[in-house]
Chains A and B, each alone.
Chain A
Amino acid sequence: MPDIIGKKVRRVDGYRKVTGEAIYGDDLKIPGLLHGAMKYTDIIAGTIKKIDLSKAKNMPGVVTIALQKDVPGMKKVGPIRQDYPPIVENKISYSGDVIAVVAAKTRKQALAAADAIYVEYESLDPITDVETAIKPDVRLIHPEYKSNIVNHYPLRKGNVEKGFSESDHVIERNYRTGFHEHAYIEPESVTVVPDYTTEGYKIYGSIQNPFTTRKVVSMFMGIKLNQINVISSTLGGSFGGKDDIINNLACRTTLLAHLTKKPVKITYSREASIKESYKRHPYIMNYKVGFNNNGKLNSMKINILADSGAYSSQTFFVTWRSVVQATGPYEIENVETDIRGVYTNNTYTAAFRGFGTPQVIFAQESLMDEIAEICNISPRDVREKNGYKQGSITASGQRLTDHKVSLKQVMEAAVNKSDYESKIQKFRELNKTNERFKYGIGLACSFRGCSLGAEGIDTSSAIVSVQADGSIIIFTGVSENGQGLQTTFSQITSEILGVPLADITFLNSQTSAISDGGPTVASRGTLVGGNATIEAANIVKNRIFSVVKDELKVGKLEDTRWKDGYISSKIGKEKISFSHACEKAVSAGVNLSAYGWFKSPDVSWDDDTGQGNAYFTYVYGCHIVETMIDTDTGKINVENITAAHDVGKVLNRLGAEGQVYGGVTQGMGYGALEDYNIQNGEVKSLNLDEYLIPTIKDIGNIDPVFIENEDKHGPFGAKSIGEPTLELTAAAINNSISFALEKQNYELPLTLEQVFLGKKLVKPSRQSEVVHASKKYKKQVPYINKISVKTPKNIKQALTLMSENKYKVLAGGTDIVVQARHKIKPLKLINIFSLPELKKIKVRNNEVEIGSAVTFTKILNSEHLTNFKLLLQAIKTIGSTQIRNKATIGGNIVNAAPCADSVPPLIAYDARLRLRSKENERIVPISEFIKRNYRTIIRLDEILISIIIPKPKNYFYSYMQLGRRNAVNITRMSISVLINFDDKNRIEECIIVDGSLFSRSQRIEVVEKYLFGKKLTKNMIKNSVKYLSEKIENEIGGRWSAEYKKPVFINIYKSALEDIYKQRKQDD
């Protein structure tokens, strides 16, 4: 029994991370540091005609501006095909292309100078879909490669046409998936320091693959590998995402360090990160499958187009993995697969956890469910019938004999853990009676090749260095990306040498100190790096043994036990402490440092036929997802996910579970939530307020289940876990949605519109909206320029300042500080946040008066406002706790965003606003205050002092809000309803206010009028809809979004009234 392998072990780097001591890329401080910034392209596609640096060069603090002509080495780089220019010469291929790089004394100065670079372009209409890009006679994105097709991987096995002709059924389906942004919480950062000892550079930062970074920078700078030492900082998440982008950023930063002879740091803002960084490839997949009545698959023909975006990057490798795994873990006699990567003018695409598999698994597993339905067998049966067994032959002709083929085992484990069979019955029953909420359950399976496979040389390195006092230093060629590799390798060393973890130190990777261990990708860290660590530790172990064996009176290493810092004999009672043994070994002149090296078993691949032994071992997984769908809105709630994985062997249970929780959550985001908005090549979702990743309220229960079939090639039998966890979830979610709605869905992500309408709703692209060069000076990347703030002592002083008509009001700051990042002119603010007069909640007989600087948290906790239930319910959904702690009710009103959640309830309550200037005061109804989105009637010299709300009668109320997530939403739409009844049960008073639907929130009077005087019945609610429908049609019917908004608003309107109907019934 191992001592520490398989246990729950704390992260060895955890202490630094919970105390704030860990140093991430941007935390580095170096004297004399310069800061860099990018000048991005202003257009999507075209040619640069002129670059004018004259203004930028003379900006304060600017030290140098680099163009492509300054690059000493190769102008273009790339992992396989060198088509990516870290700084472009004159051709623009996508919105994240970099034209120039500025070094200045401060980051702000660098950003300002980058914005001051003037570029003239000749722009072209971007090509943004792969189907257009492959048409004959279409403009070539990169003419030098003669085609927009980056690569083509074919796979041929058997004879698909013969297979189709022998099948009872042949069906053909098309599937689509979207881009997927990594959204690591740490934006990219690189610091380069000139190193005079090597006449080269030290490169620090958020670097996923230090050896790759080194190689790319050496090419770009035209210097040797031994002149560059890449030292990873603590990495704030990567998921495959800090590979190419960080290499390219390192190139630019090194160039600036070269030109200035100074250390230079470049840290990205979130917007720069999302704009420039690569994404997961969108796929368009056509699957044609032939099968028999019993569900047996005979033949499968697959055709896939992968959007590579503007550059090839990892497209070759990503699509290669897809071709190996495109049929899923099913044995099919006849397979013909063709996958092509295609250049477009979109954001380029490359590695992302999963690496070409989540797309094909979505298609394949959706297809399997459809086949099951046609054959009238269960989703599980169709998979068991066709699934890989020991000795099965894969699509690439590989016979699976070298490892335990555990597909059936993982499926059984997931089925049992989730109680799959009985839930199918239960949900079917529930769905018969429930109209609005439908329950879904879906299953998906996969097999996955471990490590790089036939992508390339697969080797790794490790050093275990034991010191004379018994303490140990280890470091490896693969790196810690946050996944916990340091801990696993420390455990391995601890297990072998019997030394407590506390005596082991893991050093961050640095390329000059160890040989290239390959990239930390493909879930290979533990597998290959772990093996190298084992080898190094065993070499040292043998050397120590040779010194102490006589004292222990044993002849063979097998006769010793290494545990708890002691080496003891298994035969006799002899025992020696590890530290003493080390001391002896050092005295005897023994070298206690050892190098471990692991070379993966051979694999093979034939590019023409797609046949070969693609990977030396595989893992198997099965996810079962339970969902609840609101059919009124298309909103999905993921309730429960069971994730069963054969990992070979669990080394650190805490780490393995963490991989499952995290991977599954990312997979959930990919399937149900995350929608990278790019239109005509222009990225619209540039920050985390628009690109929505799951919050803590969006995940349900997750049950990790581990199956351990130890692999002969793995360290202690371990294989992979990082990527398998992500690749299945979206497919299983989709199957659960299709189950619930009894309708197949063929496209990811499952946005509200996708679920509700069965299609994506895209803003129609007009030629006029295609981004061409803009003469208007604007910030390419937002940052705060210049703000000056005056803090008056009292309201009188504040109003005197306001009378100068040049200030804006700073209350909570949660909107204005965000907006300030986009402003170019200096912003002058009057800080009213702490003025006591504005922080009070005053109660009078028939009304309350809330000071405008009262925060939402204060309102929620106020004892005076408990009767304003509609308002409180709306406020609970605003932002997050941090935002509500700072944001004020006055700010929310004056900002007048269409999604300002406090406004509709205040309109419903007939609130009035006290506006005051130095000379005057006026009180206006809130319904007249907001003219339209972001426009109000407040004058430049006025401050909103307070909000006066009549004490509400004993209304029945209902508030419904729709957002894509369950927290921190931008409200898509809301409805606020207040109703009173007379003693004859007739509606005596009725107030209905929309949120985010019309050009400004307003009472929907036509509907109110219809309801007035009537009894609230289900029939009456139904009849009232036509008035609402007409109103919506008249106001927003022509908008592209109305196809979704109109029916859904009607649905939430009906729900709100039915809610009151139910309350009323309970009251009776």
Chain B
Amino acid sequence: MIDLEFQVNGKEVHLKVDDSKRLLDILREDLDLTGTKEGCSVGECGACTVIMNGDAVASCLVLAAQIQGSIIETVENLEKDKVLSQLQESFLDNGAVQCGFCTPGMLMSAKALLNKNSNPTEEEIKTALEGNLCRCTGYIPIIDSVKEAVNKN
């Protein structure tokens, strides 16, 4: 067991969890943040992507011990005071969401990119999202959404 202190979506969290738990398990099971999804458990699909200390990471590959003292942001943090972020609005306007299972991970990868690079090229957008698989949308509306969010911000 490990005593953890870290921050999730702006809130301090103190938890005692099993060492075997991954960040993904802690979010979904202990913190009830089920927006983050599990698709492959091996870091290939990106459905579990969250932002950790500013970087997009696959939360299925982060063990509990490695989140000590870190700052985590999940999809649940994107909407502020009942107002969707521009990225979320753009996803909806451009049809970037179908079944929606990849959406939280896509949004977090895109957010991590935009936090660091406010005017990315198409190639940079694709690189930021290359680790997020989507089986419904063919990606084109997702690329359009990120571009639109860049332009509107």
How would residues 1 to 29 of chain B score, 1 for a CB under 8 Å from any chain A CB and 0 otherwise? 01000000000000000011010000010
How would residues 260 to 271 of chain A score, 1 for a CB under 8 Å from any chain B CB and 0 otherwise? 000000000110
How would residues 139 to 151 of chain B score, 1 for a CB under 8 Å from any chain A CB and 0 otherwise? 1111100000000
List, in ascending order, chain B residues with CB within 8 A of A29's CB: 32
List, in ascending order, chain A residues with CB within 8 A of B34's CB: 20, 23-24, 26-27
Q: Which of the four size classes fits the interface of chain A?
A: 35 or more
| Nearest residue, chain A, Cβ from B74 | A20
How would residues 694 to 711 of chain A score, 1 for a CB under 8 Å from any chain B CB and 0 otherwise? 111101001000000000
| Nearest residue, chain A, Cβ from B108 | A882
Check: A393 CB closer than 8 A to any chain B CB: no
- CB distance A817 to B37 under 8 Å? no
Check: A236 CB closer than 8 A to any chain B CB: yes
- CB distance B141 to A185 under 8 Å? no
| Assembled-state Cα–Cα distance A24/B134 (Å) | 16
- CB distance A789 to B42 under 8 Å? no
| Nearest residue, chain B, Cβ from A641 | B138
| Assembled-state Cα–Cα distance A99/B1 (Å) | 35
- In chain B, positions 114-136 with a C-beta closer than 8 Å to chain A are 126-136
| Nearest residue, chain B, Cβ from A19 | B79
List, in ascending order, chain A residues with CB within 8 A of B103's CB: 17-18
List, in ascending order, chain A residues with CB within 8 A of B97's CB: 11, 14, 17-18
How would residues 22 to 51 of chain B score, 1 for a CB under 8 Å from any chain A CB and 0 otherwise? 100000100011111111111111110100
| Nearest residue, chain B, Cβ from A660 | B138
Which of A22, A657, A662, A687 is within 8 Å of B136, CB to CB? A662
Knowing A696-B143, A831-B65, the reply to whether A20 touches B55 (Cβ < 8 A) is: no
- In chain A, positions 654-712 with a C-beta closer than 8 Å to chain B are 654-655, 657-658, 660-666, 687-689, 693-697, 699, 702
List, in ascending order, chain A residues with CB within 8 A of B42's CB: 270, 687-689, 818, 821
Knowing A662-B138, A688-B45, A817-B22, the reply to whether A236 touches B78 (Cβ < 8 A) is: no
List, in ascending order, chain A residues with CB within 8 A of B76's CB: 19-20
Check: A579 CB closer than 8 A to any chain B CB: no
Shortest Cβ gap from A705 to chain B (Å): 15
Knowing A482-B98, A688-B45, A789-B64, the reply to whether A657 touches B141 (Cβ < 8 A) is: yes
- CB distance A19 to B88 under 8 Å? yes
Question: Interface-forming stretch among A136-144, A779-787, A912-920?
Answer: A779-787
- CB distance A789 to B57 under 8 Å? no
Shortest Cβ gap from A970 to chain B (Å): 10
Check: B58 CB closer than 8 A to any chain A CB: yes
List, in ascending order, chain B residues with CB within 8 A of A597's CB: none
Check: A1019 CB closer than 8 A to any chain B CB: no
- CB distance B98 to A787 under 8 Å? no
List, in ascending order, chain B residues with CB within 8 A of A1042's CB: none
Check: A788 CB closer than 8 A to any chain B CB: yes
Shortest Cβ gap from B136 to chain A (Å): 5
Check: A376 CB closer than 8 A to any chain B CB: no
- In chain A, positions 768-812 with a C-beta closer than 8 Å to chain B are 782-789, 791, 810, 812
| Chain A CB within 10 A, most for which of B19, B35, B60, B138 | B138
- CB distance A791 to B68 under 8 Å? yes
List, in ascending order, chain A residues with CB within 8 A of B143's CB: 696
| Assembled-state Cα–Cα distance A108/B50 (Å) | 24
- CB distance B138 to A784 under 8 Å? no
Which of B95, B99, B112 is within 8 Å of A186, CB to CB? B99
| Assembled-state Cα–Cα distance A79/B40 (Å) | 29
List, in ascending order, chain A residues with CB within 8 A of B137's CB: 658, 661-662, 665
List, in ascending order, chain A residues with CB within 8 A of B65's CB: 789, 791, 810, 829, 831
| Assembled-state Cα–Cα distance A14/B92 (Å) | 6
List, in ascending order, chain B residues with CB within 8 A of A695's CB: 130-131, 133, 139
| Assembled-state Cα–Cα distance A481/B57 (Å) | 28
Knowing A787-B19, A810-B65, the reply to whether A10 touches B92 (Cβ < 8 A) is: yes
| Assembled-state Cα–Cα distance A16/B62 (Å) | 26
List, in ascending order, chain A residues with CB within 8 A of B41's CB: 269-270, 687, 782-783, 821
| Assembled-state Cα–Cα distance A654/B94 (Å) | 7
How would residues 264 to 301 of chain A score, 1 for a CB under 8 Å from any chain B CB and 0 otherwise? 00000110000000000000000000000000000000
Which of B35, B95, B102, B134 is within 8 Å of A20, CB to CB? B35
- In chain B, positions 74-103 with a C-beta closer than 8 Å to chain A are 74-76, 78-79, 84, 88, 91-95, 97-103
List, in ascending order, chain B residues with CB within 8 A of A687's CB: 40-42, 44
| Nearest residue, chain B, Cβ from A880 | B131
| Assembled-state Cα–Cα distance A658/B27 (Å) | 31
List, in ascending order, chain A residues with CB within 8 A of B71's CB: none
Check: A528 CB closer than 8 A to any chain B CB: no
List, in ascending order, chain B residues with CB within 8 A of A236's CB: 37, 99-101
| Assembled-state Cα–Cα distance A26/B34 (Å) | 9
- CB distance A666 to B43 under 8 Å? no
Shortest Cβ gap from B147 to chain A (Å): 13
List, in ascending order, chain B residues with CB within 8 A of A666's CB: 135
- CB distance B37 to A186 under 8 Å? yes
List, in ascending order, chain A residues with CB within 8 A of B78's CB: 18-19
List, in ascending order, chain A residues with CB within 8 A of B126's CB: 696-697, 967
| Chain B CB within 10 A, most for which of A238, A664, A695, A967 | A695
Check: A833 CB closer than 8 A to any chain B CB: yes
- CB distance B22 to A968 under 8 Å? no
Which of B32, B74, B93 is within 8 Å of A10, CB to CB? B93
29 A-B pairs with C-beta separation under 8 A: A11-B95, A14-B91, A15-B84, A17-B100, A20-B33, A20-B75, A183-B133, A185-B99, A185-B102, A185-B133, A236-B101, A237-B101, A237-B136, A270-B42, A665-B138, A688-B40, A695-B130, A696-B132, A699-B139, A787-B63, A789-B65, A810-B65, A812-B61, A813-B62, A817-B62, A821-B42, A881-B130, A883-B58, A968-B131
Q: Which residues of B contact A (CB under 8 A)?
A: 2, 19-20, 22, 28, 32-47, 49, 55-58, 60-66, 68, 74-76, 78-79, 84, 88, 91-95, 97-104, 107, 109, 112, 126-143
Given contacts A10-B93, A20-B36, 18 further A-B contacts (CB under 8 A): A18-B91, A20-B34, A182-B135, A184-B99, A185-B39, A186-B47, A657-B141, A658-B136, A688-B40, A688-B133, A696-B132, A696-B139, A696-B143, A786-B20, A789-B65, A817-B60, A882-B57, A885-B56
